[in-house]
Amino acid sequence: MIRALRACVRDLEAQGAQGSIVPDANLHMTLAFIGDAERPDQVRAVLQKIPLPKIRLTLSKTGYFGDLLWAGIKADPSLHAYVSALREALAEADIPFDKKPFVPHITLIRRLRAPGSLCPRLDQEEMEASKAALMCSSFTGGKVQYQEI
């Protein structure tokens, strides 16, 4: 899947796109945005309580949130059921999280600058989700870095 995501970014760069490209090590899908987790041990306990089912992740299309380019993941009932169960468990544990609707995607480029309209190519590769993790983001040198905690 990373190969397909990188090919999409190279295709955009060939069309003149510029921006902050997300490094391979930072590629991820956010299931619930928690922000400043004051109780990371409780969040980890919730994650461990909700078993990750077999979930196939299939790339579908690209899209934009403002100047952020993302690769979409096809709707998968088991993914949405897992995210619903996870968010419900977070709420029951009184762990605040962003209540925006879940849009399965992987961010590819932040602060995208592009001439005209772009038509990125995205191969519809797939993979099986292997784990859910609590991640911490930090800004270093103007770039976001993620680390599992």
Domain limits, the chain = 2-148
**pLDDT tens profile 76-128:** 899 999 999 999 999 999 999 999 999 999 999 989 887 666 667 788 888 98
With beta carbons less than 8 A apart as the criterion, state whether 127 and 79 touch. no
What pTM was computed for the model? 0.85
Question: Exposed, middle or buried: residue 89 (CB in 10 Å: 0-12, 13-18, 19+)?
Answer: middle
For residue 50, the model assigns a pLDDT of 92
The 8-class DSSP code of residue 36 comes to S
pLDDT at 141 over 90: no
Pick the CATH number of 2-148 from 3.30.450.20, 3.30.360.10, 3.40.640.10, 3.90.1140.10: 3.90.1140.10
For residue 120, the model assigns a pLDDT of 73
